[in-house]
Amino acid sequence: MAADRAPESSAQDAVVRRDLAVRAAVDQGLIGGGDGDEPLVCLLDVAGIRASAAALTAAFATALPAGTPVLHAFAVKAAPLVPVLRLLADAGLGCEVASPGELALARAAGVPPERTVLDSPAKTPAELREALALGIAVNADNAQELARLDALVGSAPTRSPLGLRINPQTGAGAIGALSTATATSKFGFALRDAGMREWLVAAYRDRPWLTRLHVHSGSQGVPLARMAEGVREVHALAGEINAAAGRRQVDTLDIGGGLPVDFTSGTGSPTYAEYVGALRSAAPELFGGGYGLVTEFGRSLLARHGLVVTRVEYTKASGGRAIAVTHAGVQLATRTVYVPEAWPLRVLAYDAKGTPKEGPPVVQDVAGPACFAGDLLAAGRALPELAPGDLVVVPDTGAYCFATPYGYNSLPRPAVHGFMVDGTGVRFALVREAQGAASIVAEAGGGQRDALL
> What is the Cα–Cα distance from 293 to 174, expressed in whole angstroms?
27
Please report the pLDDT score of residue 385 as a whole number.
Answer: 97
Please report the pLDDT score of residue 404 as a whole number.
Answer: 84
For the segment 138-166, the average pLDDT, to the nearest whole number, is: 96
Please report the pLDDT score of residue 426 as a whole number.
Answer: 98
pLDDT digits (tens, 9 = 90+) for 53-67: 999 999 999 999 999
Please report the pLDDT score of residue 449 as a whole number.
Answer: 97
**% residues pLDDT > 70 (the chain):** 96
Q: What's CA 104's distance to the chain center, in Å?
A: 17
Please report the pLDDT score of residue 2 as a whole number.
Answer: 40
- Residue 268's pLDDT band, with cuts at 50, 70 and 90, is confident
**% residues pLDDT > 90 (the chain):** 84
Mean pLDDT in the chain?
93
Q: What's CA 371's distance to the chain center, in Å?
A: 28
Please report the pLDDT score of residue 330 as a whole number.
Answer: 97
For the segment 29-42, the average pLDDT, to the nearest whole number, is: 84
Please report the pLDDT score of residue 4 as a whole number.
Answer: 40
Give 213's strand partners: 164, 253
pLDDT digits (tens, 9 = 90+) for 91-124: 999 999 999 999 999 999 999 999 999 999 999 9
Instruction: List Cα–Cα distances, 120 to 106, 146, 227, in angstroms.
Output: 15, 13, 20
Comparing 20 with 33, the larger pLDDT belongs to: 20
Comparing 4 with 117, the larger pLDDT belongs to: 117
**Does residue 129 have a pLDDT over 90?**
yes
Please report the pLDDT score of residue 177 as a whole number.
Answer: 74
**Does residue 1 have a pLDDT over 60?**
no
> What is the Cα–Cα distance from 322 to 252, expressed in whole angstroms?
56
Please report the pLDDT score of residue 277 as a whole number.
Answer: 96
Please report the pLDDT score of residue 217 as a whole number.
Answer: 87
Cβ neighbors of 350 (< 8 A, separation 6 or more) are 22, 309, 356, 357, 390, 391, 392, 393
Q: Among 36-40, 72-76, 280-284, name the one with the lowest average pLDDT.
A: 36-40
**Does residue 40 have a pLDDT over 80?**
yes
**Does residue 9 have a pLDDT over 60?**
no
For the segment 248-259, the average pLDDT, to the nearest whole number, is: 95
